[in-house]
Chain A
């Protein structure tokens, strides 16, 4: 079945540093989403990517959809303590409309 492989699994960085995480898939997704989940909460949509090669920003967040539609990265610039959480990539399955999630990247920011 369709799978998303997300890396790294966890990151521990200093406040102010930039962060990069990525996601790869064995199959093509037409839409790619990045979510953030705070402890004890549901995921919140950060960025949506629709077109191959698309680069989209949302404040300090930047994400790009790979040319092959099989990968994506998310960058966070100048990290702050409230960036702490779990970041998930997700692809929308074209056949079923279901979301397929990556394993998540846990981000910790040291003040």
Chain B
């Protein structure tokens, strides 16, 4: 089945620094990747959708200059949280979808716990 790998699983960074999170599709070509954010005891909120080779489409209220998304290849997308602040601390999850996968294309990574101190 489709496997999505996300790294790192957890990261602690100082306020003002930038953090990069990677999302890789291991056994399929991910033409579309989705990035979500999840606060404790809450649901997943879609941040942005990225198609390979195109600029990401951000959801309303998500700052594109703060959450930089790059989807330069069919197997890798990255989310960079720039100038991180404590309120950016959250659980970030990606999902990757390839052509012809149907509902099984909504495969999720294992998430990244970001703590900004």
**Which positions in A face B, CB cutoff 8 Å?**
31, 33, 40-45, 48, 88, 90, 92, 96-99, 101-104, 106
Contacts and interface: CB of A to CB of B under 8 A. Distances in A.
B93 A42 contact: yes
Contacts, number: 52
Interface of B: 4, 6, 9, 32, 34, 41-46, 49, 91, 93, 95, 103-104, 106-111, 113
Given A42-B93, A103-B43, A33 B106 contact: yes
Given A40-B113, A42-B6, A99-B106, A88 B44 contact: yes
Contacts of B44: 43, 88, 99, 101
Contacts of A96: 49
Given A31-B103, A99-B34, A42 B46 contact: no
Given A99-B46, A101-B44, A92 B103 contact: yes
A106 B43 contact: no
A106 B41 CA distance: 9
Given A40-B9, A92-B103, A99-B34, 8 more contacts: A42-B95, A45-B103, A45-B107, A90-B106, A92-B106, A98-B49, A99-B44, A99-B106
Contacts of B104: 45, 48
